[in-house]
């Protein structure tokens, strides 16, 4: 076991020397259906248009649907890589504007159970991929599950999506509380989706910030808001990202502003010397898998 860990570290070190590790941003929420996937896809494409090399990882175990939103049908997923049938390069989907997508993330969960040889190979390929990437966006499932937490723990940054619905705000606080308890140094950005107007977004942000400040002593960063707009479900139906089908819409403009903010602000990047996939493997091994749900 110690041997294996050492060898993995050596591989990672060798691969990552002189390379800026990619920024890893997990996109998550307390409640489902708040717009994580729409946001992740459109943000990824926008960042890519701005010159960033973007890798989008579809890590929603239950409802992996980045591919569906883009009208793409992946033939293979990470599971095939883990079985040794495919290379990472073979399963990557080339999305619009040069973004790359790792489809249907359930295979990621098998990483921890791989034998040493396959694991080493797999990590080498993933590290290779990370070398040519600026930003890795992870679209996760909703809720306080340990699998979501693993991605949050391995990432350097997190974006929480909420809507003005009281249940969505309460659940957003729930996940912020868990993050605060496990990885307090992580900068937490919030996006308020499906708002009537900026005023409503401000009120939601205030409510969430107040409880977070009062009970956790932590500040949240307001990344932005997205208005509720029929353009979004229309685009989903057409399997066309709205930043491409309706680039002048208010929703597309909001995403552009947030992308801009993400790459222009000086964000403390808390990645450390290990590659993202190495850190992910570490937390997969650490976090106890017996009880999927974390009590609130």
Instruction: Please give the residue ranges that form the binding site for ligand ADP (CB under 6 A).
Output: 29, 32-38, 193-194, 226, 228-229, 232-233, 236, 251
Specify the residue, 21 or 107, whose C-beta has the smaller distance to Mg ion. Answer: 107
Pick the closer one to ligand ADP by CB: 71 or 84: 71
Query: Which of 237, 274, 261 has the alpha carbon at shortest distance from 155?
Result: 274
Closest to 241 (Cα-Cα) out of 96, 65, 29: 96
236 binds, among ligand ADP, Mg ion, none (CB under 5 to 8 A by kind): ligand ADP
Min dist CB 90 to ligand ADP, Å, is: 26
Angle (CA) 117-5-103 rounded to 5° is 60
Contact between 143 and 171 (Cβ < 8 Å) = yes
Distance, in Å, from the CA atom of 43 to the CA atom of 37, rounded to the nearest integer, reads: 10
Q: Is 193 helix (H, G, I), strand (E, B) or coil?
A: strand
Q: Which part of the chain contacts Mg ion (CB under 5 A), choosing from 29-37, 108-116, 256-264, 279-287?
A: 29-37
Smallest distance from the beta carbon of 172 to Mg ion, in angstroms? Answer: 15
Report DSSP letters for 44-112, one per residue: HHHHHHTT--EEEEEE-SS---HHHHTT---S--HHHHHTTSS-HHHH-EE-GGG-EEE--GGGGGGGG
Choose between 37 and 228: whose C-beta lies nearer to Mg ion.
37
Closer to ligand ADP by Cβ: residue 33 or 84: 33
Residue choice 37, 48, 162, 212 for contact with Mg ion (CB under 5 A):
37
Q: Which residues pair with 24 in a beta bridge?
A: 136
What distance in Å separates the CA atoms of residue 160 and residue 178, rounded to the nearest whole number?
A: 12
Instruction: Select 77 or 127, whichever has its Cβ closest to Mg ion.
Output: 77
Task: Find, among 118, 63, 112, the residue nearest to 88 by Cα.
Answer: 118
Least spacing, CB of residue 105 vs Mg ion, in Å: 11
Question: Between residues 35 and 104, which has the closer beta carbon with respect to ligand ADP?
Answer: 35
> Which of ligand ADP, Mg ion, none binds 233 (CB below 5-8 Å, type-dependent)?
ligand ADP
Taking CB within 5 to 8 Å according to partner kind, which of ligand ADP, Mg ion, none is near residue 77?
none
255 binds, among ligand ADP, Mg ion, none (CB under 5 to 8 A by kind): none
Give the nearest distance from C-beta 158 to Mg ion in angstroms: 16
Three-class secondary structure assignment of 168-225 = HHHHHHHHHHHHHHHCCCCCEEEEEEEECCHHHHHHHHHHHHHHHHHHHCCCCEEEEE
Does 140 sit near Mg ion (CB under 5 A)?
Answer: no
Task: For the CB of residue 112, give the shortest distance to Mg ion in the complex, in Å.
Answer: 23
| Residues at the site binding Mg ion, with contacts judged by CB under 5 A | 36-37
């Amino acid at each position: 076991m110690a041997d294996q860990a050492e060898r993995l570290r050596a591989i990672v070190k060798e691969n990552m020397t002189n390379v800026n590790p990619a920024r890893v941003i997990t996109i998550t929420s307390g409640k489902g259906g708040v717009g994580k996937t729409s946001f992740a896809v459109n943000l990824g494409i926008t960042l890519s248009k701005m010159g960033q090399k973007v890798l989008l990882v579809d890590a929603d175990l239950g409802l992996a649907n980045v591919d569906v939103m883009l009208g793409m049908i992946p033939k293979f997923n990470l599971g095939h890589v883990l079985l040794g049938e495919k290379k990472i390069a073979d399963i990557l989907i080339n999305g619009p504007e040069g973004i790359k997508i790792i489809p249907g993330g359930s295979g990621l969960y098998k990483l921890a159970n791989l034998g040493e040889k396959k694991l080493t190979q797999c990590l080498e390929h993933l590290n290779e991929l990370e070398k040519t990437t600026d930003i890795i966006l992870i679209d996760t499932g909703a809720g306080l599950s340990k699998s979501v937490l693993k991605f949050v723990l391995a990432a350097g940054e997190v974006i929480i999506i909420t809507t003005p619905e009281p249940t969505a705000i309460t659940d957003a606080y729930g996940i912020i509380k868990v993050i605060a308890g496990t990885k307090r140094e992580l900068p937490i950005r919030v996006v308020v989706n499906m708002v009537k107007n900026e005023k409503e977004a401000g009120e939601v942000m205030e409510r969430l910030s107040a409880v977070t400040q009062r009970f956790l002593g932590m500040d949240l960063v307001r990344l932005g808001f997205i208005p509720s707009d029929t353009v979004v479900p229309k685009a989903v139906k057409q399997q066309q990202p709205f930043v491409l089908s309706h680039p002048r819409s208010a929703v597309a403009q909001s995403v552009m502003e947030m992308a801009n903010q993400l790459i222009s602000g000086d964000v403390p990047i808390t990645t450390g010397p290990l590659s993202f996939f190495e850190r992910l493997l570490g937390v997969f091994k650490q976090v106890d898998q017996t009880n999927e749900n974390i009590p609130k």
